[in-house]
Amino acid sequence: MKIRSISLAAALVCVASSSFALTPAQIDAATVQLWINGATAPTASVYGGIRKMCVDADSNGSPDDLHVYLEKTVTTAADAAPGKSAAGKFAAYACTMGPAAGGDLDGKKTVVYHTFDVGSFEAYTPHLFLAGEANPSVSGSVKRLKNIAATTGNTCALTAFATQDPTYLACGSLSVTVAPNASVNAVPTLPVGGVSDTEYTLNQLNLGVIANLADIGSEVSTNVAQGFGLAVSYPLYVAMQQSQGLIVGAACAATGSGAAITAVNTTPACQPNVSRQKYTSLVGGNAGDKDAGLLASTLAGSALQVERRVGTSGTQSSSNAFFLNAPCATGLAAGALTPDGTNVVGSTAYPKVTIRSNNGSGDVKTNITAASNANAYAIGVLSLENAPAGTEKFAFTKLNGVSPTADAKQRQTAIDGDYEFWYELVAFTAATAPAEGAGLMTGLATVLSDPSVTDLRGLFATPLSGFDNATFPNQVSKGYKGGNACAVSIQ
C-alpha cells in the first residue's frame, strides 16, 4: 500500500458520507468517469470488487462514500442491488477510490458506469465496431445508465430501504452511440473494458468474428471460477422429484401446488437430477423431437420452455462449451454440436419445445418465474451466483448426480472437484482505455482473485490465484483450467 501524506491520511480518517458523498449534485468536472460492461452473471461480484476498491479509511468493511445508482425502481430492499433482475441491467458506482484502484485513481472521486445487458461479448463489441468489424453481433450502439449528474431529466431517487450502500433508484437508461471519450472527466461514450465469463476466443469462434483480441486490447484470467447450473420452474422441479421417486409422503414436498407453489425443497436429498446427456439432447440440435418427458417421464407429451441466452452471452458460451463441446471440438477434430435456438433475442418454436434467447440472466430468471406462476415447465442455465430473491421462483437441480447447491455459497462441490460445470472469468482492457481505466481493470482483476474480498455465492478462487484452502478454507478450488475454457480442469 502506498504511504500517503499525513494530511491526506488524516483527512481520510475523518471522511464522512456527508462531506465526500458522491450524490448526483456532488459529481463535478473533476470527477473521473469510466464505463465497464460485459457479463451479466457476475454482476454482484463486479459490484463487490468495486466496493473493495473504494476508500475504507476506518477499515469497517464498508466504503466511506460509495453511492450506488440503479436503472429501475423496486418495491423491496432485497431487490435494490446490482444483479437483481428487478433492479435493471444498468448501474453506476460513485466513490473516492483507494490504492487498489491504481495510482491514477487513488484518492480521486470516480464514477464507474456498469452495463450488464446482453452478455460477456459486449465487453468487446464497442471496440470491435470502432475497429471496423462487420458482424451482426457487433453493434455501434450500447446502452448505459443515464447521466447520474444531469441537472435536467435526472429521475434518480434515493431509496428509503436499508441497503448495503446508499442507493438511488429509477435512474433510467439510454442507447449510446459508440465514440471515443471526450475526456476522462466527461460522461463516457466508450467503455474502458469489462468482465467476461469466458475468454475472447470462444466468443470469436461461436460468432464468426474476424478480428483478433490483439486488435482491440488485452485480457487476463482473474483466476476466479464461476459455477453454472440448470435452473427450472417450480412445477418442473416437483414433476422431476415425483418422477425420480423423491417425494414420499411429506418428505421433500413443496409448499403449495401447481401455479400456487411458493417454495420447493432444495436440500440435496430432495433435489432432482438432470444428466449432462439429457440436457445436451434437448439443446444440441434435437429439440424438434423432444418434450418435457425427457426430464420427467410423467410429463411425456407436455410442452417445455428452454430459456437460453443470446450468442454474445458468456453464460451461453459456457453452456455451449460444457454441453455441446462448441467451439472446442470444431475444425478437423469435429464433435461439436450446434445449439438449438437463435443467437439473437427471440423464440424458436419446435413441436413441443420453445427455445427463447434472452439478453440477460435477469430475463432468464423472470421467464422461469413466469413459468412457475403459470404452472408451466421451464429450464435454463444460470450462474450459481443466483438464488431466488423476492418474488423469483426458480430452483437448481443436480447435474450428473452432484448438487451444485449443497452449501449456502453454492460452490463447495465445485471446489472439491465433484461438480464440473464452472469456468474462469477474464478481465478485458481496451487498447483505448486511459491510464485511469487501465488501472481500474487491473485493480478489479486483482481484487476479484482475492478470496478475502470477494467471498461471494457461486464464486471461488483457483490455485493459480496464489491462495490456498489452508488460508481460506472452502474458498479455493482444487482444480483449475488455467484460463482456457476448452481445457479439462485438473488438480
pTM, rounded to two decimals: 0.88
pLDDT for 8 equals 31
What is the model's pLDDT at position 54? Answer: 96
The helix or strand, by DSSP H or E, that contains position 314, with its residue range, turns out to be helix 314-319
Output the nine-digit C-alpha cell for 178.
Answer: 459508440
Q: What are phi and psi of 115, to 5 degrees?
A: -105, 125
Residues in the chain: 491
- Rounded distance, CA 418 to CA 429, Å? 33
Each of the 491 residues of the chain gets a pLDDT tens digit; together they read 333 333 333 333 333 333 456 889 889 999 999 999 999 888 988 999 999 999 999 888 889 999 999 999 999 998 899 988 889 999 999 999 999 999 999 999 999 999 999 889 999 999 999 999 999 999 999 999 999 999 888 999 999 999 999 999 999 999 999 999 999 999 999 999 999 999 999 999 999 999 999 999 999 999 999 999 999 999 999 999 999 999 887 889 999 999 999 999 999 999 999 999 999 999 998 899 999 999 999 999 999 999 999 999 999 999 999 999 999 999 888 899 999 999 999 999 999 999 999 988 889 999 999 999 999 999 999 999 999 987 899 999 999 999 999 999 999 999 999 999 999 999 999 999 999 999 999 999 999 888 877 788 899 999 999 998 888 989 999 999 999 999 999 99
Please state, in angstroms and rounded to a whole number, the distance separating the CA atoms of residues 445 and 357.
29
Q: In the prediction, which pLDDT does 1 show?
A: 34
Listed in order, strand segments (DSSP E) in 340-481 are 346-349, 353-358, 378-383, 395-396, 398-399, 422-430, 459-461
Rounded distance, CA 244 to CA 100, Å?
A: 50
Mention every residue, 6+ apart, whose C-beta is less than 8 A from residue 95.
22, 50, 54, 55, 63, 64, 65, 66, 67, 109, 110
pLDDT at 331: 84
Res 456: pLDDT: 83
CA distance 487 to 201: 13
Q: What is the pLDDT of residues 119-170, one digit of tens each?
A: 899 999 999 999 999 999 999 999 999 999 998 889 999 999 999 999 999 9
- Tens of pLDDT, residue by residue over 318-343, are 999 999 999 999 988 889 999 999 99
The predicted structure's pLDDT at residue 9: 35
